[in-house]
Amino acid sequence: MNKSFLDILVYPEIFSQLSGKSFCNKSVGSLSWLKVGGSAEYLYIPSNEEDLSLLLGSLHDEINLHIFGKLSNTLIRDGGISGLTILIPSSFCGIELVSDTKLQVGSGVSDKVLANRCLSLGIGGMEFLSGIPGSIGGGVFMNAGSFGSEFKDIVLEVNFISKSGKKIIKKRDEIDFGYRKTNLCDNMIITSVLMEGFLKDSFDIKEIMKDINLQRTLSQPQGRPTGGSTFKNTKNYKAWELINKSGMSKAYCGEAIVSNVHSNFLINKGKATAKDFENLGNMIIEEVKNELGILLEWEIQIVGDNE
Ligand SMILES: Cc1cc2nc3c(=O)[nH]c(=O)nc-3n(C[C@H](O)[C@H](O)[C@H](O)COP(=O)(O)OP(=O)(O)OC[C@H]3O[C@@H](n4cnc5c(N)ncnc54)[C@H](O)[C@@H]3O)c2cc1C
């Protein structure tokens, strides 16, 4: 039977008031950075916060929600994602300067766009964002970071909408920011974030950003589908060191291979499936455990169903 987006709405008449884009059985794997994985059973791309609120307020209770930004840290399985997938677009909420050093930033804004805005405003502390390909929402959820900085350092307050459409604000101290994780739950959609940097000369900011991007170019694979760091670094070792030591630096599964530039990056040679990536990752975890007695933990979030 053909699906209709109206099937998930308690009040189908609301549909004509929604200003976002709605789809059924829409490929989302192709939108992910790994370029693998299946379709979303239902997909919605909200145009703004009010639109998202309107949708949430008219959903059937039992529908499962999945929220994503730029899909740069997500491996979608080949069988796709059942329930409703909400993709927060780059245009979601924008950037508003609140004071000399504070900004209210929409969750869909890309990290790089914010870094460049801070460069032009002379706000320091956000330079590390220039190398991370995710959205502000994904960055908060993952407590993304690099070069000694992480989201925890620049977040003051996070605005959410719950699945039932309720607006919630959490201050930084109310959120547990860990290493590439937070205690935020899946059904809370980050809508915008109050962020703070400090006044800094734009020339100095630019030099730091140049350096960060040079180091990335030299140490990470460029121009190939990847999900960035596959595993979290452990307390005493970098994940890439463990992969090298365990002899897995040349491992592959189908068309998913370990990058020869950075062993913690897995690359899609072209025709890899999500299963190839998951199997390759699990082979690496197994070998590192057998050889070195250390359990690697996925940093990439794996979602969806097997085929
Ligand atoms: C080439 C490359 C380099 C990378 N370098 C780094 C790096 O240096 N440091 C680093 O930390 N990461 C890095 N990453 C990983 C990734 O970019 C970050 O984790 C990023 O913050 C994820 O943002 P996203 O919008 O892509 O999230 P997605 O992949 O879309 O989602 C990731 C998680 O966040 C949740 N989420 C996303 N948006 C929202 C929202 N609005 N509300 C609630 N939950 C949400 C999702 O449910 C999911 O669990 C890299 C990835 C790639 C491909």
Q: pLDDT (tens digit, 9 = 90+) per residue, 59-79?
A: 999 999 999 999 999 999 999
H/E stretch holding 189 reads: strand 189-196
Beta bridge partners, 23, equal: 43
Residue 299: its pLDDT value, please? 97
Q: Residue 95: is its pLDDT beyond 90?
A: yes
Residue 186: its pLDDT value, please? 81
Residue 307: its pLDDT value, please? 87
Residue 305: its pLDDT value, please? 96
Give, as one character, the DSSP assignment of residue 29.
G
Q: Residue 114: is its pLDDT beyond 90?
A: yes
Percent with pLDDT over 90 in the chain: 95
Q: Is the CB of 109 under 6 A from ligand 1?
A: no
What pLDDT, in 10s, does the model give residues 251-286? Answer: 999 999 999 999 999 999 999 999 999 999 999 999
Q: Taking residues 123-132, report their average pLDDT.
A: 97
Contacts of residue 61, defined as CB under 8 A and 6 or more positions apart, other chains included, come to: none
What pLDDT, in 10s, does the model give residues 207-256? Answer: 999 999 999 999 999 999 999 999 999 989 999 999 999 999 999 999 99
Residue 165: its pLDDT value, please? 87
Contact 65/86 with Cβ under 8 angstroms? Answer: yes
Contact 77/274 with Cβ under 8 angstroms? Answer: yes
Q: Is the CB of 73 under 6 A from ligand 1?
A: yes
Residue 1: its pLDDT value, please? 61
Measured in Å, residue 278 CA sits from the centre of ligand 1 at 18
Q: Is the CB of 133 under 6 A from ligand 1?
A: yes
Measured in Å, residue 72 CA sits from the centre of ligand 1 at 5
Q: Residue 3: is its pLDDT beyond 80?
A: yes
What residue type is 181 in one-letter code? K
State the Cα–Cα distance between residues 274 and 231, nearest whole angstrom: 16
Spell out the domains of the chain, with CATH numbers in brackets: 5-87 (3.30.43.10), 95-204 (3.30.465.10), 221-302 (3.90.78.10)
Q: Of all protein residues, whose CA lies closest to atom 10 belonging to ligand 1? A: 144
Measured in Å, residue 143 CA sits from the centre of ligand 1 at 9
Q: Nearest 5°: CA angle at 200, between 196 and 201? A: 150
Measured in Å, residue 279 CA sits from the centre of ligand 1 at 21
Q: Nearest 5°: CA angle at 163, between 162 and 166? A: 40
Residue 2: its pLDDT value, please? 75
Residue 185: its pLDDT value, please? 85
Active site residues: 180, 229, 299
Number of the ligand 1 atom closest to the C-alpha atom of 66: 47
State the Cα–Cα distance between residues 128 and 137, nearest whole angstrom: 16
Q: Residue 26: is its pLDDT beyond 70?
A: yes
Q: Is the CB of 144 under 6 A from ligand 1?
A: yes
Contact 224/267 with Cβ under 8 angstroms? Answer: yes
What's the chain's average pLDDT?
96
The pTM for the full model equals 0.97
Q: Which residue has the higher pLDDT, 166 or 121?
A: 121
Q: Of all protein residues, whose CA lies closest to atom 49 belonging to ligand 1? A: 301
Q: Nearest 5°: CA angle at 115, between 113 and 118? A: 110
